[in-house]
Structure 1
Amino acid sequence: MAHLLGAENIGISFGTRTVLDSLSLGVDSGDRIGLVGRNGDGKSTLMRILAGLQPPDNGRVTRRGGVQVGVLDQRDELDPAHTVKQAVVGDAEDHEWAADAKIRDVLQGLLVGLDLDRPVQGLSGGQRRRVALARLLAGDHDVLFLDEPTNHLDVEGVAWLARHLQGRWRPTEGGLVVVTHDRWFLDTVCTRTWEVHDATVDPYDGGYAAWVLARAERARQAAVAEQKRQQLVKKELAWLRRGAPARTSKPKFRIDAANQIIEDVPAPRDSVSLQKMATARLGKDVLDLEDVSLSMGETTLLDDVTLRLAPAERLGVVGVNGAGKSTLLKLLDGRIQPDAGRVKRGKTVVTATLTQDVTELDEVGHLRVAEVMAREGTSFQVGDRELSAGQLLEQLGFGTQKQWTPVAELSGGERRRLQLLRLLVGEPNVLFLDEPTNDLDTDTLAAMEDLLDGWPGTLVVVSHDRYLLERVTDHQVALLGDGKVRGLPGGVEQYLALRAEMDAAAGPLTASGSTGDSEAATVPAVSAAEQRQARKDAARLERQMERLKQQKAAVELEIAELSQQGRFDEVTGPTARLHEIDTELETAEEQWLEAAERAE
């Protein structure tokens, strides 16, 4: 693999704190690297230095000649005077960008429904983020640096971005470095993981699941003294091993070692025990929506919806932006009333909501973290454990020093953690979480999930983080913008399939950014004759790939036999043929994908 860029003995400090110290690392063609670590440990700083946006205090970053680097920073620098179309494709004519399959795919994946002639100045923060990401992906770059690219993307948008990055380059071309708290995205896209901690970087092969495995194994072999942290990693590992099969199917994962590590770890949640405790606290009736309808202006968000929540139920809510997910939480919490129907509430129900903006902490901004928790009590029952205020704060990442930080000086993720603790110690029996993963690092997310595992109550989570939904909820429902709430027995995958069917029925993307507008310049369609030829090409290429696979198997068998006989000097020829077959097979697969796309 060709070397694209690298850092040699780089270091940087902020004040008296050393963030990175004497680091030497590089990005090669084919690398798909996820940066993980606690908030403040230097992930974004390392990315900015490698991308050339920020010079290190010492050391240097070198780049191979001609390498083009693209960066999605946390600051979206767009010209407010430009239209959305100008921001993404510049001054290119409609027929020019519409003829480019990559640009069409980017606009369809990120900006569908957004008027391309709308000025950037009037966009919301989430829309600006999507435009900035679309502008970057519409260009041609050898290396992409993405800092929290999944922020402001819904589940469907995150899935599209993962597919785009997987197919953007050939497996041995291009380079990607990404910082994100979305663990499903890390596991799906990344083939390597860099853990940033204590001013250094530890590299691992594989995505998030592989990193958790390797970190647990490292902790076991080194007999790490931090027993609480080790137990948390083991519990997370148990979830990965027992959860979605895709997380354990990659051959590089050391499954036997994983089984040994987690053989004595119980399931993440004792569902039977939790249900008994929840029923004792709640009774049989919790919250029911019966024939509920609700509109906002001319938009119908809910149309004759019936939804019932049971004791200890853990429900995940997904849906398109603007479909009414947060509104559904407000209905259940009693903050708004329906236009028709009724919300039935159990007599013993006590609700609490973690909102997206966490404005509830503004009134205690002058207090320190420990003082805020002292107001709530001195000891707290979490499942079958009794914890002090300090222990509870430590469990969600507030060390001794951090506990004496004024609330007004906390970061967004720290404010979210503190408010969640305040809600939990208030002993609600129904908890609503609205996008709880925003601004949280992966370690903190694991700690939050561990805390929720032992919480005996009814939980409703609105999130675009599919890993979190799979981890803490037992089933999911979807809001698709048609006023209905649909059950998802197939989980998030079923939701994505439903959305794909809706997109296919809606028609092609137009130059105005809407669908089905006959007055706008539509994307050029493939003729019937071209489709027939594409189908023929696809069939021919399938036969060619099958022959190549057979040839490959025969050559691999020949190499194995020569090696077993010790005739290593004769292996060179078959090995060269094997490389040639691999190259031909890769080319045929790419041509088949192109033909299949034209044939649709």
Structure 2
Amino acid sequence: MHLISLDNVDKAYPETLVLEGASMAISAGQRIGLIGQNGSGKSTLLGIVDGTVEPDAGDIVRASGLRIASLPQDPQYPSGSTVEDVVSFSREAISLSDRLGLKEPTKLTAELSGGQRKRLALSVALATECDLLILDEPTNHLDVDTIDWLEDYIATLTSTLILVTHDRYLLDRVVDTIVEVYDHRLYPHRGTYGQYLEARATREAIENANTKRLKQRIKTELAWLRKSPKARTSKSRQRTTRATEVVDAGLPRQRPELVMTFPPRRIGSKVVNLHNVGKEYDGQVVLKGITHLLAPDARVGIVGPNGAGKTTLLALMAQRITPNTGKVVMGSTIVPGWYGQEPSPIPPATRLIDAVRNQAEEVEITDRKTATAAKLLEMSQFTHEQQHSTVADLSGGERRRLELLLVLMGTPNLLLLDEPTNDLDLDTLHALEEYLDDWQGAMVVASHDRYFLDRVCHDIFSIQPDGTVQHHPGGWSAYWADRQERTDVPTNRTTTTKTRPKAPRTKLTFNDQRELKALTSQIPKLEAARSRLERELAEAGADIDEVSRLGAELADVIATLDSAETRWLELTERAEELAQR
């Protein structure tokens, strides 16, 4: 049974085509993950589905009595309303708002932060009885524990779901269909996000092969036309017609590739040293007793509940704020790049091309090669038309992409990223992750995105309730597994996957493939860390405190390395067994 059908839907805004000939059917019980580049039209499509946006053309058929609950990107509330007023319609909404950290029911909605407003709207959407639930970036402004809870909660829902999220773990677990918005049209794929990626890679390989063949054919036909054959016979006239049609049709539009490539800046041995650092606000301790020497190749992820002090710790490292106790020392060669949650102060009327030129007319992108402001914007997937539009015309994700470009243009050797995945599309995240793979510098990131933390971080700093910071070598997976072991959190989860006959597997699951890839990258780094710590321990001499600290850190690294190597062997043996089936 179809709840909603869209047939040849068009939608455009002044000078911007968003959707053209878009068609899709949403069936009862379906769980759709909606993906696409920033500005591709995802939010517009959601508005058309829930009836808040009128299309310019096309047909929309909705089931009689269809009930829709929606989580918008920017929730609005009645003037003078309180949290209690908004959730009082059901006990479930009250309970959910408390679970999502809204502990002051009498607080005015106008006084809530952007994150609190989004969490309030999420509690309302989840508690509303509906046939179709639409969630637009529900994980924004949630900490990793709450996201883990939300993943379980969504998995138990029986309503039809449309989900927009950059959280790839969430996508891979709770949806059974991926719909991509690309080039004004909709491209559906039955299966998980991992299966969609595999199918997309195959499709693009075929398209690239076809494009190469078409290029060769156009070259051949152009050569034939340039010979100016006399169309005396019907055959030569037909050949001329065919050749002209091929050349006029040109090449099919190809998906633009987002490119991040900037030369490394020299980094010294001293990056940022924190010595017994503490920070208070209004007499309340947020952080205390933090001592750490950031390594030149550091890849650190900071986690903790909302309000725990993740942004504060980043700002201390960047020397944007000063500690109340202790000291922060930054190396003389360090050029920090700050990519914060709050938008950069770019005047809304500034054209994109001018925003980039204000920083530099051109910059070096590879050895002895430079790129102009226009080329840099093109590499960041901004079209020529967009380059001459204003910052105010950008979607939230497009603005974040522009701000990321401006940060990287400064060629920092220390990146401090505060929730960098918020509002960025999946292609941009993939490009950023690949850039960080080869980037020669130190990075510290505060993020709720578990996949991103798993992908780019080698160490996790967790902020404890008393304001201290605990170091977990080995990255997100090792940290989370250790936490579950210590707190006895059950790892088996209820799933909503329908029972159906399955073909025997011949390869690892998407999650196992991803884990094996991460371990293959992680193990050499852990081995290098072990060698470094053994060397430093040998050089520590009679310094008992330093020997104790290095010995404890070395023990952690060795334990993590043993665990990683054991798991790597398990996965490689499993992959070989599956390949032989």
What is the TM-score normalised by the length of structure 1?
A: 0.67
Equivalent residue for 2:153, pick from 164, 167, 189 = 164
**Which residue matches 2:512?**
none
- Aligned partners of 2:291 and 2:354: how far apart in 1? 42
- Aligned partners of 1:15 and 1:215: how far apart in 2? 32
**Which residue matches 2:515?**
none
Query: Is 1:312–2:297 an aligned residue pair?
Result: yes
Instruction: Tell whether the 8 Å contact from 1:78 to 1:132 is kept in structure 2 after alignment.
Output: no
- Aligned partners of 1:186 and 1:52: how far apart in 2? 25
Which amino acid in structure 1 is aligned with residue 414 of structure 2?
Answer: V
- Aligned partners of 1:42 and 1:424: how far apart in 2? 27
* CA 426–288 in structure 1, closer or farther in 2 if over 3 Å, else same: same
> Deviation digits for residues 524-583 of structure 1, max 9, x if unmatched?
xxxxxxxxxxxxxxxxxxxxxxxxx9xx99xx9xxxxxxxxxxxxxxxxxxxxxxxxxxx
**Which residue matches 1:404?**
388
**Which residue matches 1:55?**
54
* 1:331-480 aligned within 5 A: 331-362=316-347, 366=350, 368-369=352-353, 372-373=356-357, 375-382=359-366, 386-389=369-372, 390-407=374-391, 409-480=393-464
Percent identical across equivalent pairs? 39
Report the more deviating stretch, 120-129 or 36-45. Answer: 120-129
**Which residue matches 2:100?**
110
Uncovered stretches (5+) of structure 1, i.e. residues with no partner? 228-268, 506-548, 557-600
**Which residue matches 2:492?**
none
Instruction: Tell whether the 8 Å contact from 1:319 to 1:478 is kept in structure 2 after alignment.
Output: yes
Instruction: Tell whether the 8 Å contact from 1:293 to 1:339 is kept in structure 2 after alignment.
Output: yes
Which amino acid in structure 2 is aligned with residue 70 of structure 1?
Answer: A
Superposition deviation, residue 358 in structure 1: 3.3
- Aligned partners of 1:118 and 1:375: how far apart in 2? 42
Query: Is 1:121–2:110 an aligned residue pair?
Result: yes
Aligned-partner SS, 2:326:
strand
**Which residue matches 1:29?**
28
Superposition deviation, residue 419 in structure 1: 3.0
- Aligned partners of 2:37 and 2:131: how far apart in 1? 28
Superposition deviation, residue 139 in structure 1: 1.9
Aligned-partner SS, 1:398:
coil
* CA 130–226 in structure 1, closer or farther in 2 if over 3 Å, else same: farther
Equivalent residue for 1:192, pick from 177, 182, 186 = 177
Aligned-partner SS, 2:346:
helix
**Which residue matches 1:208?**
193
- Aligned partners of 2:79 and 2:381: how far apart in 1? 39
Equivalent residue for 2:468, pick from 479, 484, 490 = 484
Which amino acid in structure 2 is aligned with residue 168 of structure 1?
Answer: L
- Aligned partners of 1:410 and 1:68: how far apart in 2? 32
Which amino acid in structure 2 is aligned with residue 401 of structure 1?
Answer: E
Superposition deviation, residue 491 in structure 1: 4.3
Instruction: Tell whether the 8 Å contact from 2:359 to 2:406 is kept in structure 1 after alignment.
Output: no
- Aligned partners of 1:303 and 1:321: how far apart in 2? 17
Instruction: Tell whether the 8 Å contact from 1:284 to 1:310 is kept in structure 2 after alignment.
Output: yes
* CA 460–284 in structure 1, closer or farther in 2 if over 3 Å, else same: same
Report the more deviating stretch, 292-301 or 440-449. Answer: 440-449
**Which residue matches 2:18?**
19
- Aligned partners of 1:226 and 1:455: how far apart in 2? 32
Superposition deviation, residue 138 in structure 1: 1.2
Equivalent residue for 2:131, pick from 128, 137, 142 = 142
- Aligned partners of 1:122 and 1:499: how far apart in 2? 35
- Aligned partners of 2:453 and 2:37: how far apart in 1? 21
Superposition deviation, residue 104 in structure 1: 7.0
* CA 30–386 in structure 1, closer or farther in 2 if over 3 Å, else same: farther
**Which residue matches 2:75?**
76
Superposition deviation, residue 409 in structure 1: 4.3
> Deviation digits for residues 464-503 of structure 1, max 9, x if unmatched?
2222222222222112332111123464467668988999
Report the more deviating stretch, 306-315 or 180-189. Answer: 180-189
Which amino acid in structure 2 is aligned with residue 220 of structure 1?
Answer: A
Instruction: Tell whether the 8 Å contact from 1:361 to 1:419 is kept in structure 2 after alignment.
Output: no
* CA 374–366 in structure 1, closer or farther in 2 if over 3 Å, else same: closer
Query: Is 1:65–2:64 an aligned residue pair?
Result: yes
Superposition deviation, residue 360 in structure 1: 4.2
Which amino acid in structure 1 is aligned with residue 412 of structure 2?
Answer: P
* 1:236-255 aligned within 5 A: none
> Aligned pairs, how many?
445
Superposition deviation, residue 17 in structure 1: 4.1
Query: Is 1:179–2:169 an aligned residue pair?
Result: no
Instruction: Tell whether the 8 Å contact from 1:361 to 1:415 is kept in structure 2 after alignment.
Output: no
Which amino acid in structure 1 is aligned with residue 371 of structure 2?
Answer: S
> Deviation digits for residues 26-48 of structure 1, max 9, x if unmatched?
11122110111122222111111
**Which residue matches 2:280?**
295
- RMSD over aligned Cα, in angstroms? 3.5
- Aligned partners of 1:504 and 1:132: how far apart in 2? 31
* 1:314-329 aligned within 5 A: 314-329=299-314
- Aligned partners of 1:58 and 1:297: how far apart in 2? 56
- Aligned partners of 1:81 and 1:3: how far apart in 2? 40
Instruction: Tell whether the 8 Å contact from 1:109 to 1:161 is kept in structure 2 after alignment.
Output: no
Which amino acid in structure 1 is aligned with residue 43 of structure 2?
Answer: S
* CA 49–411 in structure 1, closer or farther in 2 if over 3 Å, else same: closer
Which amino acid in structure 1 is aligned with residue 136 of structure 2?
Answer: D
* CA 60–397 in structure 1, closer or farther in 2 if over 3 Å, else same: same
**Which residue matches 1:154?**
143
Superposition deviation, residue 194 in structure 1: 0.3
* 1:251-262 aligned within 5 A: none
Superposition deviation, residue 422 in structure 1: 2.7
Which amino acid in structure 1 is aligned with residue 135 of structure 2?
Answer: L
Which amino acid in structure 2 is aligned with residue 392 of structure 1?
Answer: L
- Aligned partners of 1:498 and 1:83: how far apart in 2? 40
